[in-house]
Amino acid sequence: MTVATVLQLIQYVGRRRMAKLVAPVARRWQPYSRLMIDRDYAGWTLDIEAKAVAAVGAALRIPVVAGAWQDYCRQQALYCVDQFVLLNPPDWQQHRVGIAYYHGLPGSGPPEFDQVYQNLCRQHERLTRVQVSHAAMRDVVLDSGIAPEKVCVIPIGFHREWFRPPTAGQRQRIRRRLGFPEDALVVGSFQKDGVGWGEGLEPKMIKGPDVFVSAMRQLHARVPTLHVLLTGPARGYVQRELTAAGIPYRHVHLRTYRQTADMYHALDAYVVASRQEGGPKAVLESMASGVPLVSTRVGQATDLVQHGHNGCLVAVEDSEGLAHWTEQVLTQPAFRATVLAGGAQTAAANCYEAQHELWRDFFTPMVTMP
């Protein structure tokens, strides 16, 4: 039974009647024989990550079913892709539960970060596994008192078949389609950095949209042919500020996340200006796509990026550093070549396919392995 089928049945039949329909099926399952993946169905990064983990589970020959089953069965394995499920921890029906805890430093501002972490401290014994994407967040999670063997560092991966360097023809076609001049030097920013799912005129400060705009202002003064390519929802703040600064840009609304791969083909550099991150996914996606990465010291960039070897790292809020090192990868061919070569090696070692054994270790105490 597919995810869509389960959700449609719940909607039209009702939860009580649905339980009567599916309970006979679930009762035939042996304890801890199924892996349920809890998704957010928003079609953006967390949803992509949940589907990728489901595919890894299937590749490991674990029977994977939709997270919608969790209320209709007992004693199975449940993976939650978003730690914010801890805001209101459900009754997990005696399931063995693993969660991803990507970001949200307690004491850093947003009250929900504190609430989630407090609930982790209270309920970590209920969890079988916690996935973190980098060492700094591992240390934060360990401070909750959780048993160290429960915490696994697995970077947020990427689809190797989607993200590849473009051919000369691909690069030329996408840049023409987007309307960039031939001499344009294009910097990318593909994320959601506005509050809510509307225009995003109120900046989500944790994502550093103000830092990004400041860096682009400084870079534009040094690189007059600078253009910016934006994707992602709720980018209104960045669009407004780039317009005010006289920096040309394009914002592309994508129908599917997979189309992000085409957008990398138009770039000369990618910039991460965040104050906190779990990933971002762009760290490995840009490396795999043959695009030099310049990032603040956040998320898995802190573990994966070696400054000057496979990318560039600067301190959080260092807009001048972002501008300087972006200028270097745009204008210094030898330095650019070094960064691209190192990035390709890092990406190859961290695609989803390369992570199978890490995920096998993660799931072993949760579900009966074949």
Percent of the chain with pLDDT over 90: 81
Do 157 and 347 touch, CB atoms closer than 8 A? Answer: no
Q: What is the pLDDT of residue 17?
A: 60
Residue 12 has what pLDDT?
A: 46
What pLDDT, on a 0 to 100 scale, did the predictor assign at position 46? 83
**Token pair listed for 167:** 């051919």
Q: What are the backbone angles phi and psi of residue 360, rounded to the nearest 5°?
A: -60, -45
Q: Is 298 exposed, middle or buried (0-12, 13-18, 19+ CB in 10 A)?
A: buried
**CATH topology for 3-155+354-363?**
Rossmann fold (3.40.50)
- pLDDT score at 13: 47
- Range of weakest confidence among 7-21, 51-65, 126-140: 7-21
pLDDT for the residue 2: 52
Break the chain into its structural domains and give their ranges.
3-155+354-363, 168-350
For position 24, what pLDDT does the model report? 79
Average pLDDT (171-189) is 97
Taking CA atoms, 104 is separated from 110, 253, 297, in Å, by 8, 27, 15
Residue, of 86 and 21, whose pLDDT is higher? 86
Task: Report the pLDDT averaged over residues 343-355.
Answer: 97
Q: Do the two domains 3-155+354-363 and 168-350 of this chain adopt the same fold? A: yes
pLDDT at 28: 86
> Among 344, 330, 180, 319, which Cα is nearest to 263's?
180
Predicted confidence band of residue 5 (pLDDT cuts 50, 70, 90) = low
- C-alpha torsion angle, residues 56, 301, 256, 329 (rounded to 10): -130
| 194-208 residue pLDDT tens | 999 899 999 999 999
- Residue 73: band (very low, low, confident or very high) from pLDDT cuts 50, 70, 90: confident
Both tokens of residue 66? 């939709």
Q: From residue 228, how far is each of 12, 202, 238 by CA, in Å?
A: 45, 20, 10
**Cis peptide bond upstream of 280, omega within 30:** yes
What confidence tens digit (pLDDT) does each residue in 99-117 have?
999 988 999 888 999 999 9
Average pLDDT, the chain: 92
**Statement: residue 81 has pLDDT above 60:** yes
Confidence of residue 370 (pLDDT cuts 50, 70, 90): confident
Q: Say what the pTM is.
A: 0.91
The β-bridge partners of 79 are: 37, 98
**pLDDT band at 89, cuts 50/70/90?**
confident
Rounded CA gap, 215 and 221, in Å?
Answer: 10
pLDDT computed for residue 183 by the predictor: 97
Contacts of 158 (CB under 8 A, 6+ apart): 281, 284, 285, 288, 347, 350, 351, 352
Which is the CATH superfamily of the domain at 168-350? Glycogen Phosphorylase B; (3.40.50.2000)
Determine the pLDDT at residue 25: 80
